[in-house]
Structure 1
Amino acid sequence: MKVLLVQPSRLEPDGSVYRNKTRWLLGMTLPYLAALTPPGIDVAIKDDLYEDIDFGEPCDLVGLTCMSHQASRAYQIADEFRKRGVPVVIGGFHATLAPDEALQHADGVVIGEAEGVWSKVLEDAASGHLEGRYLSSQLSDLKGLPTPRYDLLDLSRYRIPNLPAQTTRGCPYACSYCEVTQVYGARFRYRPPEEVVEEVRVLMSLGKRKFVYFVDDIFNAHRKHAFAVMEGLRPLNVAWTCLCTANVGDDAEMLDLMRASGCRHINIGMESVSPESLKSVNKKQNHADKYAEQFAAIRKRGIEFSLNVMFGLDGDTKESFDATVTKLIEYRAPLSFMFILSPRVGLKIRDELMAQGRIDHSDWDRYHSYECVFEPKNMTREELEDGFWRAQRQFYSYGSIAKRILFPPNRHTIQSLIPNLFFRWGVNRKIHPLTYY
């Protein structure tokens, strides 16, 4: 039996497939699914972004995963294989939250996590009788997880030399703009620390990648577990990066151990500098009045950080763009990834906006977070998009770059300068930094 796993690209406004020679960041979903596949089954992975899909390639099952902005392309790929009699199964956030839609283009949909159902999917595909919906009766306990099959990918195609791993799954919070609790549940789960450390040891033995990227939604959510993982990492001399909540800056002991164990970068979902906007999306864990102190504590340890910012929240006004950039410069944020609120399928905030008559289409190709697809509360759609691009140009202006990372210089100055200049080139041409990933 041969299984082909495909990572879809996305469609351009003219309907063409977005292509690039490389992808910036390596993902772990399909390599991990390949690792879940039992021995004896031939598995291949294709990345639709940089390589052509041969729809005539002999295979017994095609597996696809997608986010909302990739759904249309995923459906195109699925339809082409099914025309040729090849069964298709689709998973990922979008299919999990829109299974009826996905089933119009697939023979099976994996709803939620794959651990409890993937073997059943493979058995049914082999017998020629896929059931349609596959939903595990329980969430994975994350014990004994296999190491992702990165050997199935051409790692030279990914510009950032990272290898993804995970230590936890789920989220204890319930932000209305996020799918995590719907897909992974509100219960926070974590892998045995010794298994995480052993996986990192294996990943580092590959020899060609420079650091590990922990894909957990919140690395610091379970303090005792995070400490156990970091203590295990210390002897490995490995560089790593992760996602954390802003309140990691309140925990000096954790920051010290992060640095000592090899942490070089933290990505933080700051979302907004406005308390009203944070409240509007139930972001209770963030406190805007603490940001300056929290980010200063991270910077003091020599750990680089990046901040995610979201515009279009109900507390935002036309003044929010300039106010946000002013604060980002004040925080000396090395990098900031800015987005427009994207009320994707299955989200609580989508239900709220739909009830208010503020969403008028479900063209998933446009749900990529740098176009307004809903009616903002305190400005027009055009004002939101114009302010969004203006804020990015201001943040990546030469003056801003100088204030944030050049004066005074630090150990990360050169490391931060290169992406800042690259993103400056892009945003001045309305190329969103997200596009590079």
Structure 2
Amino acid sequence: MRAPGDILLISCYELGHQPFHLASLSAMLQQAGYSPQTIDSAVETPSDEVLRQATFIGISVPMHTALRLGEQIARRARSLNPAAHICLYGLYALLNADHLLQTTIDSAIGGEYETPLLKLIASLEQGEEISIPGVRTRQEESGPWIQLTSFVVPERRQLPPLERYARLQVGQSLRLAGYTETTRGCKHTCLHCPITPVYHGRFFAIPVDIVLADIRAQVERGARHITFGDPDFWNGPTHAMRIIRALHQEFPQVTFDATIKIEHLLKHRHLLAETRECGCAFIVSAVESLNDAVLEHLKKGHSASDVIEAFDLMEEVGIPLRPSLLPFSPWETLESYQRLLDFFEQHHFLEHIDPVHLSIRLLIPPGSALLETADSHEWIEDLDPSAYTYRWRHPDPRMDELQEKVAALVEEAERRKADPIETFFQAKALTLAAQGQDFSVARATRNYGPRKVLPHLTESWFC
């Protein structure tokens, strides 16, 4: 398994970024004396020849969309190369292992995947029976491997160039964007988050010198903006600030964005001015909803009033806040969904939203912490393993119908590259129509007023 092509690593989707999870694992395999071949199927198609040649095929599935695409690739690889060992690794691999192991793959790894995966390859190479902590097979049950990884600098030289990925856009200006991570896991345990059943509130800091070396390599390849992809950049605020200070000192023209919880923005507000001065272009935060009943059910750690305070704070500091939303859950109502839309319209925040977020519906993967809540039996139905989620229906059928219509709307708008402001008002029109009210999209779009020009990435966020 040491020859080039014996080990094939495939990424399916990492939010439009050059795949970090491929680069990280590739570096560790090379350090161990292997010669992995890497393919990012988001921008290149694995050939039949490459799939037939591989002895080991590792497919990265850090999120739901990646898993959906990854299973398709695994099925194709299995038909072309029945003898290959196919392993899915990442958050969604282990959560969905029962389904995936039935026919599609040979092993699944969740959590800190590098060490178990290297041990798996060594066992296969030596012809040993597979019994490795963190590696789930048809014969061996194993939970996630949650121990500190000996991190190395990600290896990106084999990956497609940054020009093939999302860019930072400010008005008509485009900048090449890189991506890295400063931590793994998350110390918070929001009930709907797929990180919770894998990490259970633990997180690990990646050494500062490793992070900076990864950034440096991407800047050398043209990156002028960096996305910090941590679930929460301020899980360790001291660690995060060390990194952005060093980044700004070495590359003062390079900007960045990060994801930070609402409660952390409020708790560590004294860090925001320096964060802006170090080059922060915008911050993403998982707002999810402005319905306190929803936020309580999800154990988000913030309230609707906290969200409003955070928006005011960020406007004052001068860092655009881009919310991610989860507006379709069993506890959202037609009225509270409309209030959510009204909030963004009345505060002139429509430019802050990627329209896809108006359509996101709660996913409940196997192992979700939501399954353990006291009232889960009242609303969670059977598992749909092929969709990687438990089924549920809203008590108000109008909400399920609205979600389907809004999802179709934003998908078509994304395909056409439609005006996001008009798309927002089309979603509002659908919402009011569900309540028997008329609404003029054209008039609302005309009357919205001057458009803000805010920094954003050119690919919308999908889960």
The question of a shared fold, defined as TM-score above 0.5 by the shorter chain, is answered with yes
* Offset from partner CA, 1:111-139 (integer Å, 9 cap, x none): 32113312212212322446276518963
- 1:54 lines up with 2:47 in the alignment: yes
Aligned pairs (5 A) from 1:7-406: 7-8=11-12, 24-39=16-31, 40-57=33-50, 58-66=53-61, 67-71=63-67, 73-83=69-79, 84=81, 85-104=83-102, 105-129=104-128, 131=130, 134-135=133-134, 139-141=146-148, 145-155=151-161, 156-160=163-167, 161-206=176-221, 208-236=222-250, 237=252, 238-250=254-266, 251-283=268-300, 285-333=301-349, 334-336=351-353, 337-338=357-358, 339-350=360-371, 355-356=377-378, 358-360=380-382, 362=384, 364-365=386-387, 373-380=391-398, 381-386=400-405, 393-394=424-425, 406=450
Q: Is the 8 A contact 1:30 1:45 kept in 2?
A: yes
The change in CA–CA distance for 1:90 and 1:249 in structure 2 (over 3 A counts) is: closer
* Offset from partner CA, 1:224-248 (integer Å, 9 cap, x none): 2233223322302121111001134
Q: Secondary structure at the match of 1:38?
A: helix
Q: CA deviation at 1:278?
A: 0.4
Q: Is the 8 A contact 2:17 2:179 kept in 1?
A: no
Q: Is the 8 A contact 1:88 1:106 kept in 2?
A: yes
Q: Is the 8 A contact 2:28 2:114 kept in 1?
A: yes
After TM superposition, the structure 1 stretch with the greater mean CA deviation from structure 2, 265-274 or 103-112, is 103-112
After TM superposition, the structure 1 stretch with the greater mean CA deviation from structure 2, 346-355 or 248-257, is 346-355
Q: CA deviation at 1:178?
A: 0.5
Q: Secondary structure at the match of 2:36?
A: strand
The change in CA–CA distance for 1:147 and 1:193 in structure 2 (over 3 A counts) is: closer
Q: Secondary structure at the match of 1:209?
A: coil
* Offset from partner CA, 1:263-296 (integer Å, 9 cap, x none): 111111000111111011111x212113223112
Amino acid at match of 1:81: A
The change in CA–CA distance for 1:387 and 1:138 in structure 2 (over 3 A counts) is: closer
- The whole-number CA distance in structure 2 between the counterparts of 1:404 and 1:257 is 33
Amino acid at match of 2:237: R
- The whole-number CA distance in structure 1 between the counterparts of 2:109 and 2:303 is 37
* Offset from partner CA, 1:285-317 (integer Å, 9 cap, x none): 212113223112223333222111112334311
- The whole-number CA distance in structure 2 between the counterparts of 1:205 and 1:8 is 25
Q: CA RMSD in A?
A: 3.3
Amino acid at match of 1:240: F
- The whole-number CA distance in structure 2 between the counterparts of 1:404 and 1:307 is 20
How many residues were matched structurally?
A: 400
Q: Is the 8 A contact 2:244 2:278 kept in 1?
A: yes
Amino acid at match of 1:374: W
- What 5-or-longer segments of structure 1 have no aligned partner? 10-21, 424-432
Q: CA deviation at 1:344?
A: 2.0
Q: Is the 8 A contact 1:329 1:403 kept in 2?
A: no
- The whole-number CA distance in structure 1 between the counterparts of 2:39 and 2:209 is 32
After TM superposition, the structure 1 stretch with the greater mean CA deviation from structure 2, 35-44 or 238-247, is 35-44
Amino acid at match of 1:235: Q
Q: CA deviation at 1:354?
A: 6.3
Q: CA deviation at 1:167?
A: 1.4
* Offset from partner CA, 1:333-372 (integer Å, 9 cap, x none): 33323311112222122565863364345154486xxxx9
Tell me the residue number matched to 1:430: none
Q: Secondary structure at the match of 2:19?
A: coil
Q: Is the 8 A contact 1:166 1:216 kept in 2?
A: yes
- The whole-number CA distance in structure 2 between the counterparts of 1:349 and 1:31 is 32
Q: Secondary structure at the match of 2:192?
A: coil
Amino acid at match of 2:160: D
- The whole-number CA distance in structure 1 between the counterparts of 2:442 and 2:129 is 56
- The whole-number CA distance in structure 2 between the counterparts of 1:340 and 1:54 is 34
- The whole-number CA distance in structure 2 between the counterparts of 1:331 and 1:151 is 45
Amino acid at match of 1:123: A
Q: Secondary structure at the match of 1:232?
A: helix
Q: Secondary structure at the match of 1:117?
A: helix
Amino acid at match of 1:63: G
The change in CA–CA distance for 1:317 and 1:389 in structure 2 (over 3 A counts) is: farther
Q: Normalized against structure 2, the TM-score is what?
A: 0.76
Q: CA deviation at 1:375?
A: 0.7
- What 5-or-longer segments of structure 2 have no aligned partner? 136-143, 168-175, 411-422, 428-440
